[in-house]
Amino acid sequence: NIKKIYELLPHINCGFCGYDNCGQFAKAVSEGSASPFGCRQNPWVGYNISGIIGLKVPAFGYQQRSYQHFIGPRLGSVPSLELLRKEVGELSKRIEGILNRIENLGKKKGSTYSIPQ
């Protein structure tokens, strides 16, 4: 199954799936530790991979409870919307701080460049 799954993947080893390369991702899917829909370059390939591993998924309306089946064991649990909002808020503050430091560095060096608002 690993070879069949691997043949469907784009072979660009981008790592967006959480694995170092497409081969590792294919192995993880075949072992049941990764979602067949984990390829971010071509998520639709997940339907073909599902057929290889014998998983039946609806053609449309892939729902969170099905998604939880795959990512739950890997991540521990699916994060709540409240937790995601909190994390986005914290990241926004960090990014704002970074942009302010960049702008201040430009001012110190006499640059006329400023961060667009």
pTM over 0.95: no
**pLDDT top residue among 109 and 67:** 109
Nearest Cα neighbor of 77 from 90, 64, 63 is: 64
The domain limits of the chain are 2-75, 79-117
What is the pLDDT, as a whole number, of residue 64? Answer: 43
Tokens coding 48:
């073909």
Angle, vertex CA 70, rays to CA 73 and CA 62, nearest 5: 150
DSSP percent split of the chain into helix, strand, coil, nearest 5: 55, 0, 45
pLDDT in tens, 54-104: 887 765 544 444 444 444 444 445 567 777 788 888 888 888 888 888 888
Instruction: State the DSSP code for 84.
Output: H
Percent of the chain with pLDDT strictly greater than 90: 22
